[in-house]
A and B are shown apart, each in its own frame.
Chain A
Amino acid sequence: MPSRPWLWLAMAGVLAALAVISLGTGVIDIPARDVMRALQGSGDPATMSIIRNLRLPRIILGALVGAGLGMSGGALQGTLRNGLAEPYLLGVSGGAAVGAVIAFAFNASNAGIIALAAFGGAAVAVVLALLVARAAGSAGRGDPRTLLMAGVVIGAFANAVIMIALANAPPNTIRGALWWMMGSVADSSWSALPWLAGFIAVGSALLIYWAREIDLLALGDEPAAALGVDVESSARRIYLLAALLAAATVSAAGLIGFVGLIVPHIVRAAGIRSHRPLIVASGFVGATLVIAADLAARTIRPPGELPLGAVTAVLGVPFFLAQLRKAA
């Protein structure tokens, strides 16, 4: 980590600068001086309310979600030795969406209940994928591809369930559910943030602690086993944690695509290979990407907002393709 201090400084600097710009920008532009004053709790009450009750919580939520997804993706890609692995591909998104849509279908309008339902759905899908992979793996000996396939299949099943649940729902329920599925940090509030922050802090600390194991797993099953890793249980443990980390972000902000997939690639392109710095850097880059995407989502076409998950994909995919070209 200390080998490239400038790189870490740059990452932190960009994140901080973007957060400040984002605080001052919106349908009402607020000069930096007034932003600072509002943060300290003085100045015009309307400005203060916009900064402290609207923009700050959503920027913090965006940072947490981006960091959680980035770190989750970094850990999964190493563990499963697959650059396509990302939390959403492994059934997390599908499971969470099923949970949320069921809550919507039962007319739940409380954000906390929808978040809990989403988290529950994601957790069920993740555990299901693990069980399927384990059942299949007893023949094929813990091939990480089995886990990927199990996740994809469960995701497809989840999509079918969602279609059925929404087939005859009233328009506002459908609009609410679609909006949720496209991801948004617009409804962030201070009461929900501590839960997510706590979850992400614990989850990322554990991932960082297990990063050495991920390094070994990334070498391949045989070499990892030769180096003393209990490959199967270790991979399962990391997979479960990474997936739950993503599930927590999904429950707070809906489905925000591509962050978990592209962020680790960006980090590796910057020359970071070892998983401890890679996971930390993925957190920074993920947070930056989501804050930037949210800034775009809420300023491109006022007074409406664009779906954040679509903006992250639109911003992320060209970047990802450029990386692929460079790598090829």
Chain B
Amino acid sequence: MLRRRFVSALTLLLAASCTRDAVHTAAEVDDFGDPIVVKSAPHRVVSLNPATTDLIFALGAGDRLVGRTHWDVYPEAAIKVPDLGSGIRPNVEAVLGAKPDLVILYASKDNRAAASELRAAGVNTLSFKIDHIADFYHAARTIGRLLGDSARGARVADSVERTLKRVRAATQSLEKPTVFWHIWDAPLITIGRGSYMNELIDIAGGVNIYGDMRETSPAVSIEDVLKRNPQYIITGPEGSRKVSKDSRWAEAQAVKAKRILVVDTAIVGRPSVRLGEAAESLARLFHPGKIN
């Protein structure tokens, strides 16, 4: 947040010093520091991030989407939107070919060049780095406004926020189990403090055993997981099969006590409109019978 404010201050200075393009009143910037320009509501939107695609459908603007990434398959209706390939280093020609009047990118370094190219081609392009839950609120409000429905953007953000607050309140006084989130098996990847999933565990009343690691998705060793000995292992259906039949995991207390929790990636897989649902389902898994 602080950095965003710093960047906007910087842009303000820059805007003040150059008189050429001082038409926008608010010096609001996206996560690349590019100015956010609100024009008339866009009708052809390309969203190259699963989280924003999901969000745009929730904002009731799914029918305006003319492009998505290969991995944006939620909600189900998103599958009908043309697949433009990768959202990291996207194919700029393919994006331009969709004739968008708004492109939404994930603000990772890899996309810096694409954002500049699209802007140079005269396409309104905004980049959001949605890694944490607060980033989602910000994106929901901003994208709602861009799409011409600020109220709905605020409503989506507020409803997620309300659910998360409710879940946090419900789990606050409960004992917090330790949890290991098994994302991938070779290499063994989990989640660290850099991920919204770490926040979800916290809100749902659990303690991520790798919450001390700064990375988003650090690789760790089985031995170290055994040492930290989590009470629960969260994973997908395939991860669950693997962990439960692998002899190396056999002595983990979560495996012995059959506390491997299977989560639905359709719900927990993106920092988007289903964050509230995700936290709720995790809370039910961590605290069976105690969450209504």
Cβ contact within 8 Å between A50 and B226: yes
B248 touches A53 (CB 8 A): yes
Do residues B221 and A27 form an inter-chain contact, with CB atoms below 8 A? yes
Which B-chain residue is minimally distant from A298 (CB atoms)? B221
Docked Cα-Cα span, A27 to B226, in Å, equals 10
A123: min CB distance to chain B, Å: 23
Total residues of chain A contacting the partner, CB 8 A? 31
Q: Which residues does chain B contribute within 8 Å of A179, judged by CB atoms?
A: 186-187, 219
Docked CA distance A168–B226 (Å):
35
Asked if B251 contacts A45 (CB within 8 A), the reply is yes
Q: In whole angstroms, what is the CA distance A54 to B70 when docked? A: 38
Q: Are B86 and A168 in contact (CB under 8 A)?
A: yes
Shortest Cβ distance from residue B119 to the other chain A in the assembled complex, whole angstroms: 24
Neighbour of B186 across the interface among A28, A55, A111, CB < 8 A: A111
- Over the window 255-286 of chain A, the binary record of Cβ atoms lying under 8 Å from chain B Cβ atoms (1 yes, 0 no) is 00000000000000000000000000000000
One of B88, B210, B223 near A50 (C-beta < 8 A)? B223
Do A176 and B220 touch (CB < 8 A)?
Answer: no
Interchain CA distance A187-B85 in the complex, whole Å: 32
Is B92 an interface residue, CB under 8 A from the partner?
Answer: no
Residue of B whose beta carbon sits closest to that of A173:
B184
- Are the C-beta atoms of A54 and B219 separated by less than 8 Å? no
- A175 within 8 A of partner (CB): yes
Decide: B187 and A176 in contact? CB cutoff 8 A: yes
Are B247 and A109 neighbours in the complex by a CB distance under 8 Å? no
Given known contacts A168-B85, A168-B86, is B248 in contact with A27 (CB within 8 Å)?
no
Q: Is B158 interfacial (CB-CB < 8 Å)? A: no
User: In whole angstroms, what is the CA distance A39 to B213 when docked?
Assistant: 33
Distance to closest chain B CB from A180 (angstroms): 7
* Chain A CB within 8 A of B224 CB: yes
B221/A304 in contact, CB under 8 A: yes
A168 proximity list for chain B (CB < 8 A): 70, 85-86
Contact A304 B223, CB 8 Å, known A53-B248, A179-B186: no
**Considering the chains assembled together, what is the distance between the CA atoms of A45 and B119 in angstroms?**
61
Which residues of chain B from 250 to 280 have any CB-CB distance to chain A below 8 Å in the complex? 250-251
Interfacial chain A residues near B226, Cβ < 8 Å: 28, 46, 49-50, 54
Query: Which residues in chain B, 55-104, are within 8 Å of chain A measured between CB atoms?
Result: 70-71, 85-86, 88
Residues of A within 8 A of B70 (CB): 168
B223 to A26, Cβ gap below 8 A? yes
Decide: B219 and A305 in contact? CB cutoff 8 A.
yes
Q: Which residue of A lies closest to B85 (CB)?
A: A168
Contact status A53-B184, CB under 8 Å = no
Chain B residues positioned under 8 Å from A302 (CB to CB)? 221, 224
CB distance from A159 to the nearest CB of B (A): 20
Interface residues of B (CB under 8 A from A): 70-71, 85-86, 88, 183-189, 210, 213, 218-227, 229, 238, 242, 246-248, 250-251
Q: Other than the known A189-B246, A303-B220, what 15 A-B pairs have Cβ atoms closer than 8 Å?
A: A28-B227, A45-B251, A49-B226, A50-B226, A53-B247, A54-B248, A111-B186, A168-B86, A175-B184, A176-B184, A180-B186, A186-B188, A298-B223, A303-B213, A305-B220
